[in-house]
Structure 1
Amino acid sequence: MGAKVAVLPIVGMIMAECAQAGRMIAGKAAMSNGMSSFVFVLYSNTIASIILLPSSLIFHRPQERPPLNLSIVFGFFLLGLFGCLGQSFGYAGINLSSPALGTAMLNTVPGLTFVLAVIFRMEKVDCRSYSTLAKSMGTIISMGGAFVVTYYKGPLLLKALPSASNSSHQVLSQHSNWVLGGSLLAVDCTMASSWLIVQALILKKYPAKLIAVFFYFFFSTVLTSIVCLVMVKDPSAWSLKSNTRLVSVLFSGILGHAFQVGVTTWCLQKTGPVFVSVFAPLGIVITATASVVFFGDALNLGIVIGAVIIASGFYAVIWGKAQEATKKVEDEESFGPASSSQKVPLLQNRSNVDA
């Protein structure tokens, strides 16, 4: 039974990463069709909110819902703020570069999350420990890889398929700005790491997962609405008459937001923010392939080199977490048999142990 429980978060995160990669591709398709990135975020968040409101009320019965207080509501607002900023910067970065660069940059999230977890004392730091050294070095290596994918594009490795070299590819090429796009994506990754930390802290006090996710999308929708009213002046940017825009928004709202964030939140409560963040590299292959096939985005050497460097740091962080989990089990066994409630899955984050 324990092995089954440990496998479920892994399966969940694989599905969530696939949905997130699809969301990036859908966003690129809508923006290449002339849709504003801010409007795309607004529509997607609105759809997710509409889906999650009845779902959360059905899943969490009234007697099971923890009471709301000002501190919890402010935490939900922070989640919405980080989500609004992250999505706005992220889609703008993807529009200026490519979904492949977007998923490559997401590999910095484990390192950034580890740094924030240390700051908020959710991760134990022992400079004499090999696991701490591995996580620290992995973080530094990941940051270096992020600089490579952002500032070094390199020679072309893989061209688009002939069928993909159409007018949409020409539109995307005209708006390509690699360095600026990478910088905006770096801000998105920082917001994503902050979101994971705040979400983990909130779930310790308010474990009703779907309600927490609903409030996140609700506040994100409100904040994005304000941004849209200020930033988007062209009425045509709001239109959903195009099938490409409509399908992209529906996919993003249903699978890329409601499903992906819901599953991620469940895994976050079960395992902690660092475990969730280490699945970021999974989307690289999916998104890079789709970018070349469907959008005509070229695959450059800089993405490959940077992704390899970031992945090396990513696996260093995983190794460090695995060593900590092994040591914890050994310590528990040395003090006698532990109860089932004390046993945690591999790579369990310390925040859940202290909860």
Structure 2
Amino acid sequence: MVQWLKWNGTNKLLPFAGMIVAVLAQSGSFVVIKLATKDRINKYVMVTYSMALSTILLLPFAFFNNRSQCPPLTFSLLCSFFFLALLGTSTQIMIYGGIELSSPTLASAMLNLTPAFTFVLALIFRMEKLRWRHYSSQAKVIGTIVSMTGAFVVILYKGSSIFKIHSSTSYNTLQFSPNLNWILGGLLSAGDSLLSSIWYIYQVSVTKKYPTVIVIVFFQVLFTTIQSGVFALIVVRDSSAWKVKLDMGLIVILYQAIGAIGIRYFLLTWCVQRAGPLFCAMFKPIGIIFTVFLGFIFLGDDFYLGSLIGAIIIVVGFYAVQWGKASEEKAERGIEKLKMPCNVVPLLQNIE
């Protein structure tokens, strides 16, 4: 890690810190969502209110931004923002359903598919290079596989309980068998991973067209509010579900609007712009570690040996990929220096 930071300096240190905060905010989001569904709070209404509040909070930042330095907003750009929002809306719906049907730990573990999806998409769109004979490329591929393996260890192997507060309680609200709930929750979380990878890739092209991050985030959240609101009006027929009370639901909406949406969206967009999609996607495995500990503290979930072993495997894979990325960047900088022309000026010039 010290060598990685030495190679990259603040160019990657700040995105590194930003992604840690973003992943921690998402892990906290998984926990509060589970608490909300336990209290029978409608997840689709919660998404709509959270997005609407976040839009209001982001409005002054986007409006008072130095617009003289911003490119003009065109219809094509607005369509790009709308598509980004559509991806975001779909991921929100999928992950909320996945958490309700299974658990925050499973949903977080399935997000570890995101680096693999992003890696494949980045190769397809030539954002990443793969040289099988180079150790750096081998490290990225192996590290991705190792991280995914660690995620599935958490899912498939529980082992003995290391820490235990009380017996776990099922919070599932949909009437399926426990096994079917678990499978459907995993599939929805996997779908969220795929759409998140597409979001990372598409975000790169959007930030190149319009580099002002806060404006991109504002329009994403605005369009997501509209899209999720329309969806919620279709599927939620009970008018009482739209009433906001001074209970856990209000706390969840506030946390989602400020932390999980406003701050996290800004950090994700900024980090993708600075460090690329694969760099950001590789932080997903860290999320399961945060989620397991937060679930243990706030939900009373048991902490099992399998979670500890899986977390260690995930971290090993994560750092293998980061080492591979750092090695490639170091090699590319060395090649660029060799290609630079050397302007040799003679010490003594002929004087006529």
**TM range, smaller chain:** 0.7 to 0.9
Distance in 1 (CA, whole Å) between partners of 2:227 and 2:306 is: 35
Confirm or deny: 8 A CA contact 1:107 1:314 kept in the other structure.
Answer: no
* 1:259 paired residue among 234, 257, 263: 263
Other-structure match for 1:9: 15
Q: In the alignment, does 2:100 pair up with 1:101? A: no
Which aligned pairs between 1:232-271 and structure 2 lie closer than 5 A?
A: 232-271=236-275
Which aligned pairs between 1:64-83 and structure 2 lie closer than 5 A?
A: 64-83=69-88
Other-structure match for 2:63: 57
* 1:124 paired residue among 122, 129, 140: 129
* 2:204 paired residue among 178, 200, 206: 200
Distance in 1 (CA, whole Å) between partners of 2:340 and 2:70 is: 36
Other-structure match for 1:20: 26
Q: Tell me which amino acid in the other structure corresponds to 1:275.
A: F
Q: Secondary structure at the match of 1:333?
A: helix
Q: In the alignment, does 2:95 pair up with 1:90? A: yes
Structure 2 gaps of 5+ residues are 1-5, 343-352
Give the TM-score normalised by the residue count of structure 2.
Answer: 0.85
Q: Which has the larger radius of gyration?
A: 2
Q: Tell me which amino acid in the other structure corresponds to 1:116.
A: L
The alpha-carbon deviation at position 148 of structure 1 amounts to 4.9
Distance in 2 (CA, whole Å) between partners of 1:70 and 1:311 is: 43
Using a 3 Å threshold, how does the CA distance of structure 1 residues 78 and 128 change in structure 2: closer, same or farther?
same
Confirm or deny: 8 A CA contact 2:207 2:273 kept in the other structure.
Answer: yes
Root mean square deviation of aligned Cα: 2.6
Using a 3 Å threshold, how does the CA distance of structure 1 residues 233 and 337 change in structure 2: closer, same or farther?
farther
Q: In the alignment, does 2:113 pair up with 1:113? A: no
Using a 3 Å threshold, how does the CA distance of structure 1 residues 253 and 307 change in structure 2: closer, same or farther?
same
Q: In the alignment, does 2:329 pair up with 1:325? A: yes
Q: Tell me which amino acid in the other structure corresponds to 1:254.
A: I
Distance in 1 (CA, whole Å) between partners of 2:69 and 2:285 is: 36
Structure 1 gaps of 5+ residues are 339-355
Distance in 2 (CA, whole Å) between partners of 1:328 and 1:304 is: 37
Confirm or deny: 8 A CA contact 1:111 1:317 kept in the other structure.
Answer: no
The alpha-carbon deviation at position 45 of structure 1 amounts to 1.3
Other-structure match for 1:43: 49
Structure 1 stretch 107-116 or stretch 253-262: which is displaced more? 107-116
Q: Could you tell me the percent identity over the aligned residues?
A: 40
Q: Tell me which amino acid in the other structure corresponds to 1:27.
A: I
Which aligned pairs between 1:262-281 and structure 2 lie closer than 5 A?
A: 262-281=266-285
Other-structure match for 1:345: none
Q: Secondary structure at the match of 1:8?
A: helix
Other-structure match for 1:347: none
Distance in 2 (CA, whole Å) between partners of 1:49 and 1:71 is: 21
Q: In the alignment, does 2:292 pair up with 1:288? A: yes
